[in-house]
Amino acid sequence: MDPESKRAEKETLYSLFARVGQALANPHRLELLDLLSQAPRTVEELAREAHMSVANTSQHLQRLKQARLVVSQREGTRIRYALASPQVARLWQTLRQVAEAEMAEVQAALDAYRDRRHEFQQIALPELQRRLQEGDLLLLDVRPQVEYAAGHIPGARSLPLEELEQRLAELPEDLPVVAYCRGRYCVFADQALALLAERGRPVARLEEGVWEWRQAGYPVETGA
């Protein structure tokens, strides 16, 4: 094959890679990927979580689908979306890690978003696993119920953030509380721990989410 044809084939290859990059080059689409890394959702559910219109959400999902990053399934009059593969979640995780390592602005933005993140003791994954086995702490998953059902740390109790204040009486008073949500870029656990700390409860935060827990080789449970 002549060099001109080889060059054209190489450019086709890189243009396909660029399609993925172009799909990622939008903050709204990245948020949709983040939400889908927690659980499959309908367009309406994603729009509500991302504070976007259904029409705008659908357009962004179509761009992600064209890049083969998400897949869809019709359920009656609704369409449910999911990540195309675990590699997409890994890509999203790697993108965040590179940005945090190379851009000082990420830390500043994270501090502004999670303005109370330095107030709480952190617990590492191995220590959490050990203490769950010993039964000397209460682990709260404060994400929405749909995310808990899609996958959660074994032994975690589902208590969505918006229900926490009304259900505090359900929590045993003799155990310290550890909370987690969607990982280090999620504020739900901080807000839950602030509420619990104000009521005198000893608290700690798991910075990692279910994805990182799974990647570390620990088991994940599904179901309500």
Instruction: Evaluate if residue 1 carries a pLDDT over 70.
Output: no
Whether 147 and 79 map to the same domain: the answer is no
178: left (phi over 0), alpha (psi -120 to 50) or beta: beta
Asked if residue 94 has pLDDT above 80, the reply is yes
Q: Do 163 and 207 have their domain in common?
A: yes
> Is 123 in the same domain as 194?
yes
Domains of the chain: total: 2
* pLDDT tens by residue, 201-210: 999 999 999 9
Pair 82, 139 in one domain: no
Indicate which CATH number applies to the domain containing 160: 3.40.250.10
92-105 average pLDDT score: 95
Identify whether residues 80 and 124 lie together within a single domain: no
Residue 76 pLDDT greater than 90, yes or no = no
Which residue among the candidates 47, 153, 181, 204 is catalytic per the annotation?
181
The whole domain housing 161 covers 115-215
Per the annotation, the verdict on 181 as an active-site residue is yes
Whether the predicted pLDDT of 140 surpasses 80: yes
What is the CATH classification number for the domain harbouring 60?
1.10.10.10
Domain membership flag for residue 221: no
Q: What is the mean pLDDT of residues 21-39?
A: 97
